[in-house]
Structure 1
Amino acid sequence: MIQYKQLITTIVISFFITLILGPIVIPILQRLKVGQSIRDEGPKTHMLKSGTPTMGGLIMITAICVTTLTSGMLNRDLYVILFATISFGLIGFIDDFIKVVLKRNLGLKAYQKLIGQIIVAIIIAVYQSSISISSTKIFIPFMNQYLDFGILYIPFIATVVVATANSVNLTDGLDGLAAGVTLIVSSFFSLIAMNWGYPSIAVFCGALTGACLGFLRFNAHPAKVFMGDTGSMALGGAIATIAILMNLTLLIPIVGGIYFVEALSVILQVASYKITGKRIFRMSPLHHHYELKGWKETKVVVVFWSVTLLLCIVGLFSLN
């Protein structure tokens, strides 16, 4: 079983790879003029972010891949998580490329992204249902037992993967928010994987944690680079697959509660406006609502990080 020393080493390696790549990749993105465009209806303070390089998720994805592929812990599970990370990252990259390089503001059409995401999600679901000793069973938090989803397993898992990837994407709206939240969530899963006998998954979680920590060096306020859909989609796909391969799918809305409420705020906002013509929040996703209420961006980020930490503690109790 992987030891704490090995896990820390993995985190450190990924962290330093990210730190090294940042000063190399960011100037390249600047020269390519792949700057972030800011919505006019958003908080006015965000207009200062216009032109900040995006697609910085390439830095994290590279660090994660290099660290895991050289870890000596390669197995099928690790390859599946890498597949999910790279595939969702590629979907995000294509979307970013169309928006910031080809200057088409809408990027990929919604159905195009959804088709790609569903295909990848189904592959992950089929793999887990075929390979896992638990088959179509999923652990139920707080109850210390498994529930067999049977024929509903594949559509359920595919839905979770797609929903998680898009939820992380929605969370990526403030400097350091998505990277910080994912850093905490991946740290949680690294500890669980290490103690539950999933050494290769623990290694990947360590690489993900280190990459997020290193990326915060460039993405914390004031951000020098944004991860873009390239990064947020990759992080979402990774977190979902990590939980699924350990049969802890139902932990995602607990430890990833911030992802969940960010996505829920958008759904409720749209539904309310279409049905009643009124908005529930000043702006969605939720982090913008608090900004428009007068919270500083850094306060929103720190509060959301803190909430995630508390939710991960709850997640630990739910496994006992």
Structure 2
Amino acid sequence: MTYIFYAIALVMSFLIVYLLIPPFSRLAFKLDFVDKPRKDLERKLHREPIPLTASYAIFIGFFITYLAIEREINWETGALFLGGILLLTIGTIDDWYKTKGKDFPALPKMIVQVSAAVLVYLSGNVFTGFFNPFSGEYVVLPVILQFILTILWIFGVTTVINFSDGLDGLAGGLSAISGMTLFVVALAMGQSNSAMMAIILVGVTLAYLRFNKPPAKVFMGDAGATFLGFLLAVIALDGAFKQATILSLFIPILAIGVPIFDNIFVVIKRFLQGKAIYQADASQAHYRLLRAGLNHKQALIVLCLVSTCLGLSSIILMLVQI
């Protein structure tokens, strides 16, 4: 695929989301589908009601662009679409609960996220194994292990991106950086489908960031954050994890490194303190940076710089492998 198609996809996805967010925001105010400030929660940092509808613009922008460019519907595309619908639906329910000052139970969200991951597995987008660096042979993992690792990867990345959505511009910024990293990796590996999905993801997140940069005018809510995490996980499976060596397995992990490493730390801390590991709180890195004295923009810049460094590290690691 020529580079012009990637450029078209980037611009097209950006424009669709950029044009759709304002009308969806107006609809959110009419329906009272807004995230209201709460002084009793440390992680609620905004002071005005914010629309929670950017997720729908992101979803529409991604799939319209992808189908317009690729012009092909197969099992993998169907699984990606249905999985996205599932996440958008349960995320919307969760976001609606939040507009009423209530918390939606974690179990239904987990079940839906796992179900979306299973759809991807059944479509054939699977982590099958890796190349043995000593023998040069491809090690095919047992089917049960392929299933477990694929589901854990998709569920894990979906979750950590959602957990990172606590600061204006953060989840979108980290997703854009990770998407660009995976785009470069996919191009170098000759994975055109993965590269196309990655550059479209970059386009939709950049458009979203035009409205979500501090101070945010719109949120994507759990619906959008889980969808972006789901996309990143699938893109990595379709590209960076294909024909991987033991060393190159770290490429997608580094590409999405900030939310992965931060939330591993958070989960371990919650477990040791006897807290529910899936319950939202203010223990992520961005909250710790704010408590350390940084303002919102400074905390955002620090974490995006770290993410960029990790992304560059993953690209260097990939180049060493070629």
TM surpasses 0.5: yes
Q: How far is 1:104 from its partner?
A: 5.7
Equivalence for 2:102: 105
One-letter amino acid matched to 1:225: V
Match of 1:227 among 198, 202, 220: 220
Q: Which has the higher contact order (CA 8 A, sep 6+)?
A: 1
* Change in CA separation of 1:139 and 1:85 when aligned onto 2, cut-off 3 Å: farther
Cα deviations across residues 116-142 of structure 1 (Å, max 9, x unaligned)? 11122122223336xx7xx7214699x
Q: What is the CA–CA distance in structure 2 between the aligned matches of 1:47 and 1:209, rounded to whole Å? A: 25
TM-score using structure 1 length: 0.86
Equivalence for 1:171: 164
One-letter amino acid matched to 1:106: D
Alignment of 1:70-219 (within 5 A): 70-76=68-74, 77-100=76-99, 103=100, 105-107=102-104, 109-128=105-124, 136-138=128-130, 147-150=139-142, 151-219=144-212
Q: What is the CA–CA distance in structure 2 between the aligned matches of 1:139 and 1:224, rounded to whole Å? A: 47
* Change in CA separation of 1:9 and 1:209 when aligned onto 2, cut-off 3 Å: same
User: After alignment, is 84-93 or 205-214 more displaced?
Assistant: 84-93
* Change in CA separation of 1:211 and 1:144 when aligned onto 2, cut-off 3 Å: farther
Equivalence for 2:53: 55
Q: What is the CA–CA distance in structure 1 between the aligned matches of 2:239 and 2:153, rounded to whole Å? A: 14
Mark the runs of 5 or more structure 1 residues left unpaired by the alignment.
276-281
Q: How far is 1:148 from its partner?
A: 3.1
* Change in CA separation of 1:192 and 1:9 when aligned onto 2, cut-off 3 Å: same
User: After alignment, is 73-82 or 56-65 more displaced?
Assistant: 73-82
Q: What is the CA–CA distance in structure 2 between the aligned matches of 1:80 and 1:139, rounded to whole Å? A: 27
Match of 1:243 among 232, 236, 242: 236
Q: How far is 1:32 from its partner?
A: 1.5
Contact 1:96–1:229 (8 Å) recurs in 2: yes
Equivalence for 1:284: 283
Q: For residue 25 of structure 1, give the secondary structure of its aligned residue in structure 2.
A: helix
Q: What is the CA–CA distance in structure 2 between the aligned matches of 1:84 and 1:241, rounded to whole Å? A: 11
User: After alignment, is 90-99 or 162-171 more displaced?
Assistant: 90-99
Cα deviations across residues 173-197 of structure 1 (Å, max 9, x unaligned)? 1011010110111112222223323
TM-score using structure 2 length: 0.85
Q: For residue 124 of structure 2, give the secondary structure of its aligned residue in structure 1.
A: helix
* Change in CA separation of 1:95 and 1:283 when aligned onto 2, cut-off 3 Å: closer
Alignment of 1:260-271 (within 5 A): 260-271=260-271
Equivalence for 1:9: 8
Cα deviations across residues 270-293 of structure 1 (Å, max 9, x unaligned)? 123239xxxxxx941121011011
One-letter amino acid matched to 1:253: I
One-letter amino acid matched to 1:163: G
Alignment of 1:12-27 (within 5 A): 12-27=11-26
When the two structures are aligned, how many residues end up with a matched partner? 303
* Change in CA separation of 1:47 and 1:182 when aligned onto 2, cut-off 3 Å: closer
Equivalence for 2:316: 317
Q: How far is 1:233 from its partner?
A: 0.5
Q: For residue 310 of structure 1, give the secondary structure of its aligned residue in structure 2.
A: helix
Q: How far is 1:94 from its partner?
A: 2.4
Q: What is the CA–CA distance in structure 2 between the aligned matches of 1:226 and 1:23, rounded to whole Å? A: 12
Contact 1:219–1:225 (8 Å) recurs in 2: yes
Q: Identity of aligned pairs, percent?
A: 25
Equivalence for 1:297: 296
Contact 1:85–1:235 (8 Å) recurs in 2: no
Equivalence for 2:67: 69
